Amino acid sequence: MGYLLFVTLIQAFSFSLIGEYLAGHVDSYFAVLVRVLLAGLVFIPLTRWRSVGPAFMRGMLLIGALQFGVTYVCLYLSFRVLTVPEVLLFTILTPLHVTLIEDALNRRFNPWALIAALVAVGGAAVIRYDRINPDFFMGFLLLQLANFTYAAGQVLYKHLVARHPSDLPHYRRFGYFYLGALAVALPAFLLFGKQNFLPEAPLQWGVLLFLGLVSTALGLYWWNKGACLVNGGTLAVMNNLHVPVGLLMNLLIWNQHEELGRLLLGGSVILLAVWISRLGIRRDALPV
């Protein structure tokens, strides 16, 4: 669990860096592309190309495309219309998506997950009830897609590693992850990127370096490795730990004037949604 705890701190800090120094200043697609390229420079030279089966390669390419490529394109786009605290709160629903994905893989329907999703939408409405507009809901939906693809990557990685055991250490097979992410990030930038919104200040380049080398390279590697070492319940809890830590960092350092009352009330409703989802899991686990 040490891997997950350390990455939680990195994630919590990274959200504020994106929201404060990149969102609205640096093209979202370019930022995602730079992060992938920097992370790839770390892992691709370490990757074994001949000792890895084709099925594992394809699986890692898919996981990289989902867990980083799609996830972070959606995440960066959401920062255009949401504040950092709102983004953090809406990522609290990742465990709900883990539940939905596992239910789908096991071919079962969990009505509790559907109820939880509806409650979570209510929590989002509480936070911005006086400023609800199409842009806000678009940001919320983008984050739910990001939550889904990030959750899918974690679940699929655990299954893939279990299905294809190897004597090679994880880092020797992790370069394929970033190639999959690049397959999404590069076309996205070429098709939708705005070259007049590239980084100009040294601080922006410094933030991108940190996000690429630390958050993306080491962070995602350690997170997926740690996910293989814990059970599903622990992983769900760790998926949410970055939220209070990130909120505390952002509110203390950057957003001292955020409307805390409404944020706490809406956040409590979203926490209720997570609890409802977990309640459904426990009920399903009871013997009949």
Give the separation between CA 225 and CA 237, rounded to whole angstroms.
16
Q: Are 227 and 150 in contact (CB under 8 A)?
A: no
Between the alpha carbon of residue 204 and those of residues 60, 83, 190, the distances in Å are: 30, 19, 21
Between the alpha carbon of residue 62 and those of residues 20, 209, 218, 276, the distances in Å are: 31, 25, 19, 30
Angle, vertex CA 237, rays to CA 234 and CA 241, nearest 5: 130
pLDDT at 15: 84
Mean pLDDT, contiguous 10-residue spans, the chain (288 residues): 84 86 91 96 93 92 96 91 81 76 74 69 60 77 93 90 89 95 96 91 96 95 87 66 70 67 72 70 54
pLDDT at 9: 87
Determine how many CB atoms are found less than 10 A away from the CB of residue 234: 14
Q: Are 280 and 113 in contact (CB under 8 A)?
A: yes
pLDDT at 91: 80
pLDDT at 256: 56
Q: Are 36 and 178 in contact (CB under 8 A)?
A: yes
The DSSP secondary-structure symbol of 129 reads T
Q: Is the dihedral of CA 271, 276, 277, 279 positive or negative?
A: positive
- Kindly state the tokens that stand for 241: 């730990």
Give the separation between CA 15 and CA 33, rounded to whole angstroms.
17
Domain span holding position 169? 2-285
Q: Are 198 and 26 in contact (CB under 8 A)?
A: yes
Measured over all CA atoms, what is the biggest interatomic distance in the chain, rounded to whole angstroms? Answer: 62
Q: Are 156 and 63 in contact (CB under 8 A)?
A: yes
- Kindly state the tokens that stand for 252: 């203390």
- Kindly state the tokens that stand for 12: 């919590």
Provide the number of structural domains found in the chain: 1
Q: Are 11 and 88 in contact (CB under 8 A)?
A: no
